[in-house]
Each structure stands twice: as structure tokens, then as C-alpha cells.
Structure 1
Amino acid sequence: MVEKLIHFALHNKLIVIVLALGLFGWGVYSVRTNPIDAIPDLSENQVIVFTEWMGRSPQLIEDQITYPLVSNLQGIPNIKNVRGTSMFGMSFVYVIFEDNVDVYWARTRVMERLNYAQRLLPQGVTPSLGPDGTGVGHIFWYHLEAPGMDLGEQRALQDWYVKFALQTVKGVSEVASFGGFGKQYQINIDPYKLNYFNVPLMDVLNSIRKNNNDVGGRKFEMSDMAYIVRGLGYIKNVKDIEDIPVGNYGSVPVRVRDVATVQMGGELRLGIFDVNGEGEVVGGIVVMRYGENADAVIKDVKIKMKEVEKGLPPNVKFKVSYDRSELIEAAVESVKGTLIEEMITVSIVVLIFLLHWRSALIILIQLPISVAIGFILLNAFGISSNIMSLTGIALAIGVVVDDGIVMVENAYRHLSEAQLDKEKNQSI
């Protein structure tokens, strides 16, 4: 088989050259399209199911949420394992699939099973899927530099403007907000006043819930004109809540301000985000979608941030907290430099030992072609260009060169011996 292949290559040089050029061009294209990251993604093929039921103990979360979900998700095809974690007010279920399963097929099957398991959960509790990212998907962190703006306003700016804009970038799975305060209306009810006015607590809660709503009407025609009637009832400020009636005391309406105090406050926090010990800030974490090019996604996010920054209030700017592209570019440049050094070293060694530039050229030509074919295989198996894969290519160059040197030196020796035999025969 090998002899036939060598015979074919020697008698069809044009075809061999065209195939080599084709492989090299395909390899160059693969180099440009192969995803680039600093570290290999070794995380499991998993789908995360997150459920929130605030105020409940871990034991209650385990019994009424985590256990029913884990029990019903185990019947999905191609599952390796299902793990559940319960904590105060939250439940996490990790569904681990086989490595060859498509992640979006897995998410679809999990969602189908969640629709069935929903009936087993407490009323008002709805599980949701985590982002379609991986364990190394946190590629970019940023925070807002906003002097003179309080943390509540910064968090509102992040949640309702910046976050939605950055989520439109191709390859971004989620932009997770951190830091600051989530604004909320806080109603502190006085139980003594409720008892004095004889107003049940549930009447206060139901009245506030019902009054925070717009209602629709019907079309009203008058003087050949049609008017749409609707009731505007959404709460816009603290005074709107204070004026909501909750009952009657004799013939006088009792309002929220008569039985409670209303204020604008911050949502309960489980942590803070501090920068260099200089104080709290508000920002976001950009999570990359599964299988995307980390370097390209970060570049697109930076371009989008420049557009978003034009619409921010005066003196509000973006500051980068963590940028993986710096590590990616440094790692790739380091390995590229190593490859170039190896090729130069190999060229010098071959020229010194063989003292024949054509033989050295034969060995050197196979280096870029071999590296190009390596990137073709990386794309075929879905492996990104990272420190591990590029270092493997760099180490493999030595093996490729060794084989080439042995074969060329052997061919060179046989040709030399044949030439000497020919000269001897001619002299005789």
C-alpha cells in the first residue's frame, strides 16, 4: 500500500502539489474560523434548572422543589447524572448529559419535562433554565464609574438599559448584573393601627395588589368620534401607594398612610461588589454562549459598549474589571512565537547537517502544511485554539521534523550511493 502511494506521488506530481495547496488553504481558513480561548473548556455537558422560593428553609426547598424535580428529570434520554442542591430560598438542579449530546437538544428535552413537573411544585413556584453557557463562560466583567449617582440609580441603569443592549451581541448568552440595590417600595405596617381601624392585614395586601394595575374599557362613540376608555392605575411614586384605600372606619375611608409608612428602599442583598477597597460599584458579567469564539465575542461586546456609552448620563463611563481577551492574545502570541522559533531552529539544524538546501526545503515545506492540517482536525472535532491545543501542536512539530529528516536523509544517502555506483561503472 505504501509503495503504491509513493509510486502514485512520484508519477503524479501536479496532483500532489494541488492537494498540498488545497490542504494548506483549507488549513488557513480553519485557523481564522477556529474558536480562540485561553483555557480549554473541560466542563460537563449540563443544563442547570434554577428555582426560587424566597424565605423558605433549605429543608423545605429540598422536600418540595429539589426532590420532585430530580425525580422527574431522571427519565430524559442520554443522561449521565442528575444532581440537586438546596439552599435558603433557592434550588439548583444540574442535569448532566453525555458528551456527544447537542446542548440545545438537551435544553429542549429538559424544558419539556419541566412542563410536566410544574404541577408537582408549590403554587406560584416556576423553575427556569440557566444560561446556555459553560463553566468558563464568564469572559468579561465591567462596572460603571458614576460619580454622584447612588447605587440604586446605577443598578436601575444597569438592569434597564445597559444589560438589554449588551445581550443583543452575537454569542452572548446572558449579562448578569451585580452590585448596588434593586429599588423597591417598602410598606411598614403598624399592627396597632390595623387593630384600631379594624382592618385585616390581607385586606391591605389585596388592596395594594389590585390597585397597581391598568384596566381596559371599551370604545365610546360621541359626535362621530370614537374614544378608547381605559383606566390608568399603575403605581408611579410613594404617594400613589399612600393614597390607596384599604377599608372604612365608620364612613371615613382608611388609606395605606393611615396604617403604614411607605418608603423607597433597596432589595435584600446577599453580597456586595467592591473595587480595590475604594467603595461599592455596579456592573455586569458577560456570559458567553456555548461553543462561541471568546475572543470575537469580547471584541463585539467592546464595540457595543462604545455605542451604549453614548446614551449614558453625563460622567457615567464603563470600566473593565476582567477581560479574558488579554490572556487569550498573550497565550496565542506566546505559542505563535514558539512555533516560529522552532521552524527557524529546524531550518538551521537541517542546513548544517545535510548541507543541501533542496533537502532542507522539503523538510520545511511539510511544517506549515502539517500545522494547517492540525487546525482542520481541531475544527472537525470542535476543539478551540487554546494553550493546551496550541502547545500540543508546538510539541508535535519535533515529531514531524524527525520523520522528515530521517526520510530525506535516507533518500539522500541512497541517491548518493546510486550516483557513486554509476560513476564507478562509467569509469570501468
Structure 2
Amino acid sequence: MIESLIKFSLRNRLLVLLVAAGLFAWGVYSVQTSKIDAIPDLSENQVIVFTEWMGRSPQIIEDQITYPLVTNLQGLPQVKYVRATSMFGMSFVYVIFNDDTDVYWARERVLERLNYAARLLPGGVSPTLGPDGTGVGHILWYTLDAPGMDLGEQRAVQDWYVKFGLQNVPGVAEIASFGGFQKQYQVTLDPNKLTYYSLSVPQVIGAIRANNNEAGGRKFELSGIGYIIKTTGYLQSVEQIQQIPLKTENSVPVRVADVATVQMTGETRLGIFDLNGEGEAVGGIVVMRYGENADEVIGNVKKKMAEVAKGLPEGVKFNVVYDRSGLIKESVDSITHTLVEEMIVVSLVVILFLLHWRSAVSIIIQIPITIATSFILLNAFDISSNIMSLTGIALAIGVIVDNGIIMAENAYKNLAIRQAELTGQQRTQPQPPTINGYQPIANGQTNRPVRPQQRT
């Protein structure tokens, strides 16, 4: 088969050159469209199920949330195994699928099973799916540089403005906020006053929940104009919560302020974010979606950050604390320089040892064509251009050149043997007789001198 292929290539040189030129052009296009990242994504194909039930101990979370979810998610198709972690107030279930399973198909299967498993959980508990990212999806971290603004205001700017703006960038799975305080109304009950007024905690919770609501009315027309009736009942201040009535005692209403202390404060935190030992900071983590181009997504996020910065309060700006694009650029540049150096060195060595420019060109031209063609395969198998893949290409240059050198040497050897055989045949071939240095010619033609044979 190889001999037939070689014969076909020798007889159709123009076709071979056109195919090589086409592969090289396709390879150049593949280089430009290849996904670029610093490190390969070797994380498992997993779907994360997150459930929050604040205030409960890890043992209760394990018994009432984690165990029912794990037992119901184990029967999914193409699942290798299910892992879980229970901690204070939170449960994490990791469903690991086979490597060739489509991640979005896996998320659909998990979501279908969660609709059934949710009825086994306590009331008010709702499990949710984690972002469609991977373990190496954290591509950019940033903080808000806001001198003079308290941490609660910074977190509000992050959650209600910056986060929504950056989530619209293509390829971003999630903007995870960190640091600061999440503002909330906190009602601290006094047990002695509850006992005095014969009230229970559920009664207070129910009264506050019932008074934090809006009710719709109806629409009526008057003089050709339509009016919509509604009631505005959402709580907007601490004072409104304090004035909520709980019951009536001797025609006197008992309010929330009579049994509790109401204040605006931050949600209980499980940790803090400190920046360079200079104090707490507020910011976010950009999580890249599965299978996206990290370098392209980072560039789009930075462009969006420049647009979002125009709407920030005066004096507030972004401070990028981690940016993978720098590592990507350094890694790709290092490997690219290595590839260029190897190509130059190999080309010089081939020319020096063969001392035949046509053979050297035929070998050297294989290097760029083969490297460009390798990017076609990288894109076909959805492999990014990273340190591992580019290093493999650099190591393969020696194998590429060895093949051409072996073929050239083999051709030289066979041509030399063939030339020696032809020369030997010419030396041993008998010569026609001559008369006085002239060779007789038949049919009465004039004799002509015989030219001595030139030895090669």
C-alpha cells in the first residue's frame, strides 16, 4: 500500500502540491481560530447540586438533604459515581458523568431527577444546579477600589449593577460575588416579652411576612380613562417593620417594636476576603462556561468592564487581582519561540549534512505543513492550544524531520546503485569494428570517424 501511494504521488506531483497547499491554508485558519488557554482542562465531567438550609448542623444537612439527593441521583444514565459534602447550612452533591457525555445533556438529566427528589426534602428547601463551568473556569478575579464607601454599599454595587453587566458577556457562566456585607433587616426577639404577650416566634414571622406584600385590585373606567387599583405593601424601612401589629391586647395593638429590636445589618458571614493585607475588599470571580476560549472570553470581559465602569459611582473603579490572560500570553509566546527556534536549527542541520538544497527544501517544507495540519486535528477533537499540546508539537518536530531524512537517504542510496549499474553496463558493452579509425556504414554511405567513448 505504501509503495502504491508513493508511485501515485510521484506520478501526480501537481495534485500532491495542491493538497499540501490546501492543508497548509486550512491549518493557518485553524491556528487563528484555535482555543487558547494556559493549562489543559483535565477536570471531570460533573454537575454540581447545591442546597442551602441555613442554621442547620452538618448532621441534619447530611440526613435530611444530602442522603435523599445522593440516593436518587445514583440511578442516572452514564453516571460513574456520585460524591457529596455536608457542612453547616449547605450541601454539595457532585454527579460525575462519563467523559464523552455532553455536559448540557447531563444537566438536563440531573434537573429531571431533582424535580422528583425535591418532594423528599424539608419544606422551603430548593436544590439548585451549579454553574456550567469547570474546576479551571476561574479566569479573572477583580475587586472594587472604592475609597470612602463602606463594605455594604460596595457589595450592593457589585450585586445589583456590576454582576448583571458582566453576566451578559458571551462565554461567562457566572459572576460569583465575594466580600463585604449583604444588607438585610434583622429582627432580634426578646423571649421574655414574647412570653409576657403570649406570642410565639411563628406568629411574629407570619405577621412580618403577611405585611411585606402587595395586593392587586381591579381595573375600572371613569370618564373614558382606565384606572388600576393596587395596594403598596412592601417594607422599605426599619420603622415600617417596627410598626407591624402582632395582636391586640385590651384594644391596644402589640407591635414588633414591643417584643423585638429591628435593625439594618449584614448577613452572617462564614469568612472574609482580605486584599494584600490592606483590609477587606469586595469583588467578583468570572467563571468561564464549559468549552469556551479562555483568551477570547477574558478579552470580552475586559471590554465590558470598561463599559460598566462608566456607570460606577464617582471614585469607584475596577482592580484586577488575577488575570489568566497574562499566563496564557507568556505560555503561548514561550512555546511559539521554541517552535521557531527548533525549525531554524533543524533547517540548518539538514542543509549542513545533506549539502543538497533540493533535498533540504523537500524536508524543511514538511515542518510548517505538518504543524499547521496538527491544529486542524486539535480543533477537530476540541483541544485547546495550551502548554501541553504545543509542547507535544514541539517535541514532534524531530520525528517529522527524521522521516524526511530517512526517505531522502534511501532515495540517494537507490539512485547511486542504479547509476553504478548503468555505468558498468556501458563499460562492458562491445564496440563495433573500425577500419583505420573509421566505422564502416552500410548501403554505400561515407564512413565517419569513430568518437572515443567518454567515461563517466
1-structure distance, mates of 2:315, 2:398: 55
Shift in Å at residue 322 of structure 1? 0.5
2-structure distance, mates of 1:192, 1:251: 22
Contact kept, 8 Å, 1:175 with 1:285, in 2: the verdict is yes
Q: Which residue of 2 aligns with 1:427?
A: 454
Q: Which residue of 2 aligns with 1:160?
A: 160
2-structure distance, mates of 1:201, 1:331: 60
1-structure distance, mates of 2:203, 2:71: 39
Shift in Å at residue 220 of structure 1? 2.8
Contact kept, 8 Å, 1:203 with 1:247, in 2: the verdict is no
Contact kept, 8 Å, 1:171 with 1:297, in 2: the verdict is yes
Matched, 1:407 2:434: no
Matched AA of 2:168: T
Q: Could you report, residue by residue, the CA deviation over 1:343-397 in whole angstroms, capped at 9, with x for unpaired residues?
A: 0001111111111222111111100111112111111222111111110000000
2-structure distance, mates of 1:72, 1:203: 36
Which ranges in structure 2 are unaligned for 5 or more consecutive residues?
A: 427-452
2-structure distance, mates of 1:245, 1:26: 75
Matched AA of 2:315: N
Contact kept, 8 Å, 1:217 with 1:230, in 2: the verdict is yes
Contact kept, 8 Å, 1:85 with 1:91, in 2: the verdict is yes
Q: Could you report, residue by residue, the CA deviation over 1:199-222 in whole angstroms, capped at 9, with x for unpaired residues?
A: 433222111111111110111333
Matched AA of 2:389: S
SS of the residue aligned with 1:310?
helix
Matched, 1:366 2:366: yes
Matched AA of 1:232: T
Structure 1 residues 361 and 103 mapped into 2: Cα distance closer, same or farther (>3 Å)?
A: same
Q: Which residue of 1 aligns with 2:75?
A: 75
| Greater alpha carbon shift after TM alignment, 188-197 vs 304-313 | 188-197
SS of the residue aligned with 2:311?
coil
What pairs up with 1:7-156 in 2 under 5 angstroms? 7-156=7-156
2-structure distance, mates of 1:45, 1:6: 44
2-structure distance, mates of 1:336, 1:363: 21
Q: Could you report, residue by residue, the CA deviation over 1:31-82 in whole angstroms, capped at 9, with x for unpaired residues?
A: 1222111111111111111111111111111111111111111111111111
Shift in Å at residue 263 of structure 1? 0.9
Shift in Å at residue 188 of structure 1? 1.6
Shift in Å at residue 420 of structure 1? 5.7
Q: Could you report, residue by residue, the CA deviation over 1:277-333 in whole angstroms, capped at 9, with x for unpaired residues?
A: 001000001111111011100000000000000000000000011101111110000
What CA RMSD, in Å, does the superposition of the two structures yield over aligned residues?
1.5
Contact kept, 8 Å, 1:81 with 1:97, in 2: the verdict is yes
Shift in Å at residue 409 of structure 1? 2.5
Shift in Å at residue 259 of structure 1? 2.1
Shift in Å at residue 197 of structure 1? 3.5
How many equivalent pairs are there? Answer: 428
Q: Could you report, residue by residue, the CA deviation over 1:212-236 in whole angstroms, capped at 9, with x for unpaired residues?
A: 1111011133333321000001111
1-structure distance, mates of 2:174, 2:134: 11
2-structure distance, mates of 1:422, 1:324: 66
2-structure distance, mates of 1:116, 1:345: 64
What pairs up with 1:302-313 in 2 under 5 angstroms? 302-313=302-313
Shift in Å at residue 421 of structure 1? 5.3
Matched AA of 1:147: P
Contact kept, 8 Å, 1:133 with 1:288, in 2: the verdict is yes
2-structure distance, mates of 1:346, 1:417: 28
Q: Which residue of 2 aligns with 1:218?
A: 218
Shift in Å at residue 422 of structure 1? 5.0
**TM-score scaled by length of structure 1:** 0.97
Q: Could you report, residue by residue, the CA deviation over 1:167-195 in whole angstroms, capped at 9, with x for unpaired residues?
A: 11111011100000110011122233333
Matched AA of 2:454: S
Q: Could you report, residue by residue, the CA deviation over 1:114-149 in whole angstroms, capped at 9, with x for unpaired residues?
A: 111111111111111111111111111000000010
1-structure distance, mates of 2:287, 2:225: 52
2-structure distance, mates of 1:307, 1:416: 71
Q: Which residue of 2 aligns with 1:325?
A: 325
2-structure distance, mates of 1:188, 1:91: 27
Q: Could you report, residue by residue, the CA deviation over 1:256-276 in whole angstroms, capped at 9, with x for unpaired residues?
A: 222222111010111111111
Q: Which residue of 1 aligns with 2:433?
A: none
Q: Which has the larger radius of gyration?
A: 2
2-structure distance, mates of 1:192, 1:118: 38
SS of the residue aligned with 1:195?
helix
Shift in Å at residue 416 of structure 1? 4.5
SS of the residue aligned with 1:427?
coil
Contact kept, 8 Å, 1:204 with 1:246, in 2: the verdict is yes
What pairs up with 1:341-380 in 2 under 5 angstroms? 341-380=341-380
Matched, 1:397 2:424: no
2-structure distance, mates of 1:346, 1:285: 45
Q: Which residue of 1 aligns with 2:448?
A: none
Runs of 4+ in 1 over 6 A off after TM superposition: none
| Identity among equivalent pairs (%) | 69
2-structure distance, mates of 1:176, 1:242: 34
Matched, 1:276 2:276: yes
Matched AA of 1:134: T
SS of the residue aligned with 1:314?
coil
